[in-house]
Amino acid sequence: MTTDSWIALAVLAVAVVVLLLDRYAPIFVLTGAVGALMFADVIDTQTALSGLSSTAPATIAALYVVAGAVTATGTFAKVVDRLLDRPRPMLGFLTSTAVISAVVPNTPLVAMFAPRVMRWSQRRGADASRLLMPLSFASILGGVITLIGTSTNLVVADLVVQAGEEPLDVFEIAVVGIPVAIVGVLLLSTLGQKLLPKRTAVADDMEQRGREFQIAARVSLDGPLDGRTIADSGLRNLDGVFLALVERGGDSDPTALAASPKTVLREGDVCCFVGDVARVVDLHGIDGLDPLEEQHVSSAEGPGTRLFEAVVAPASNLVGATLRSANFRGRYGGAVMAVHRADGELGGQLGRIPLRAGDVLLVLADDAFGARWRNQTDFSLVAAVDEPPPERRSRSWLVITATVAMIVLASLGVFSLFEAAVLAAVAVVGGGAISIREGWRAINLNVVLTMAVAISLGAAVTVSGLADQVAELVGRAESLGFGDVGTVVAIMLATIVLTELVTNTAAAALMVPVAITIANEAGTDPKMLAYAVLVGASCSFLSPVGYQTNLMVFGLGGYKFTDFTRVGFPLTLSTLVTSAIVLPIAFG
């Protein structure tokens, strides 16, 4: 190995370790890696900035505007409701999700569908956890049917072009994407439902925490609860809310007391409840209890306010911070009334709970809270508990027309994918389906910038010579007599492992140069291994942190971390086997 290759390997190893520690957002880690390689003279300035000159980030930005118009007009909302109302909704719902995800980026799609699934489940008394994880997985499967299904696909396509290969076609990936999606959806509808454990909240059984939130309220001075036992106060028999803990001694050094029926409440005690989101507001009506966010709520309640569920993102400034230290009310303009953690116990006052990625916050804020914080780095999902109907439903025809035209023009070669996406974005904004301000807010800048940096990092792997060295190791599957099948499996396995360890975009950026080098040395079609990387990076099912849509539903569904591994393993295996069969036949 050359000196540049060793330096690149060392920088990438440090970047992977930092990403595993999950203390910094991927955008900062990847930018630091590119900067380090540039200052070490491994790459030049042009290579370091190659991602910014690429059309891929701008293409996904335009697609986010189109997806924002889909949300603003509720284009597919009725489709979801009708599918869920069918006697056996699972197969039809997952199939439709996969099909729509082929033309609408899956992250905004899940952000639109997940709240509707939650509200439908509440109306029907159904278990939302049976639908939310399959929703995320189906959107991921649909994302590999076309080149515009995910941002990772566009990163792969751009790196292939940078390597001097022929551009990937919009629908060419469907050769492998459709079989993968069909097998995956069938598995989710059958075996997946049996493997997925029930995670519904049960008020009388606190071992099943499901959709329960942590809520805290203080006993009022000289109120009717001061001096009474928990049993006498009636706090043991609340509908849907359970008193789990009492804290005494003030905020500086409180003492935790077991919430037994004989515990006597005193002025200043903090009662920590767990309960269903629908019952949280009921605590505000109990005489003698002051919710700890009451000072905020009283100034926020009134016309023009509503409740939102906000899922903390991995790159959020809230991760590791408390509501108090983050000054949540001042920074975000909303009052956190409750906190829910899917696979962990919460105890103590809300303001002192260190937040984690995937935590669901119940926020009381003005109507504009969702518009302000959707597609921002701090939250994976922001949805109103009682979402109003879309205001521009009559513009749905425009969104569908623009989307179909974009796909047709790009697939026929009339325009490039970038040009077709920009035209579609201009059409939905100019036609009034979404305003300019809403369109700008619909763009997830974190995804766009991460794509740009990942493309630069992928170019650096090639320029440094590291791709050639890794290709020599990974390509030994060819010499062992396994041929194209063995090479595809090796590439996909390496990509899948990297995706679960870091991020899918970073995994694609690292593996595409390696795959192209292996293909050139073996004399096989580079597209075969490029698509192997694409499917391996996009199809992340083994953990909630491997893909953003998984994290979005992690807290909402009340899942445990191992639930994703349990359901995702057979799905990952089927994706690997299907790809290893189809790709060599189509491109070998």
**Per-residue pLDDT tens digits for 241-255:** 677 778 887 666 677
What per-residue confidence (pLDDT) applies to 533? 93
Confirm if 121 and 388 have CB atoms less than 8 A apart.
Answer: no
Q: What is the pLDDT of residues 334-347, one digit of tens each?
A: 777 777 776 555 65
Dist CA 403 CA 362 (whole Å): 34
The whole-number average pLDDT for the span 192-198 is: 81
pLDDT higher than 60, residue 307? yes
Domain extents in the chain: 212-384
Share of residues in the chain with pLDDT > 90 (%): 12
76 and 112 Cβ atoms separated by less than 8 Å:
yes
Q: How far apart are CA 337 and CA 328, in angstroms?
A: 11
> Residue type for 461, please?
V
Look at residue 295 and tell me whether its pLDDT is greater than 70. Answer: no
Question: What's the pLDDT tens digit per position in 170-188?
Answer: 888 999 999 999 999 999 9
Percent of the chain whose pLDDT exceeds 70: 84
Quick one: pLDDT at residue 304? 58
Beta bridge partners of 218: 270, 290
pLDDT of residue 186: 93
Count how many residues are written for the chain: 588
In this structure, which long-range contacts are made by residues 366-373, counting pairs with CB atoms below 8 Å and at least 24 apart in sequence? 366/300, 366/304, 366/305, 366/333, 366/334, 367/304, 367/305, 367/306, 369/308, 369/332, 369/333, 369/334, 370/308, 371/438, 371/441, 372/333, 372/441, 373/310, 373/332
CA quadruple 119, 124, 125, 128: dihedral sign:
negative
Q: Which residue has the higher pLDDT, 202 or 315?
A: 315
Q: Is residue 530 over pLDDT 50?
A: yes
What mean pLDDT do residues 66-70 have? 85
Give yes or no for residue 195 having a pLDDT over 70.
yes
Band (202; pLDDT cuts 50, 70, 90): very low
Place of tokens 């906000």: 310
What does each C-alpha distance from 273 to 9, 18, 214, 244, 523 come to in angstroms? 50, 36, 6, 6, 64
With 0.75 as the threshold, say if the pTM is over it. Answer: no
What does the pLDDT read at residue 116?
Answer: 79
Structure token pair of residue 122 = 């509440």
The pLDDT, as a whole number, for residue 422 is: 93
Average pLDDT over residues 327-340: 78
Least confident of 103-107, 175-179, 581-585: 103-107
- Per-residue model confidence (pLDDT) at position 169: 86
- Say how far apart CA 231 and CA 217 lie, in whole Å: 17
Task: Specify whether the CB–CB gap between 291 and 297 falls below 8 A.
Answer: yes
pLDDT at 205 over 50: no
pLDDT at 550 over 60: yes
Model confidence at 83, pLDDT cuts 50, 70, 90, reads confident
Most confident of 212-226, 331-345, 445-459: 445-459
Is the domain 212-384 a CATH 3.30.70.1450 member? yes
d(CA 150, CA 553): 18
Region 471-494 average pLDDT? 72
User: What is the predicted pLDDT for the residue at 574?
Assistant: 94
Q: Tokens representing 286?
A: 């109990």
pLDDT score recorded for residue 543: 81
The backbone torsions φ and ψ at residue 383, rounded to the nearest 5 degrees and listed phi first, read -140, 140
Task: Give the lowest-confidence range in 150-159, 169-178, 273-282.
Answer: 273-282
pLDDT > 50? residue 301: no
Q: Which residues 6+ apart lie within 8 Å of 505 measured at CB?
A: 26, 151, 152, 155, 450, 451, 454, 537
- Tell which wins on pLDDT, 184 or 278: 184
Q: What is the rounded average pLDDT for all residues in the chain?
A: 80
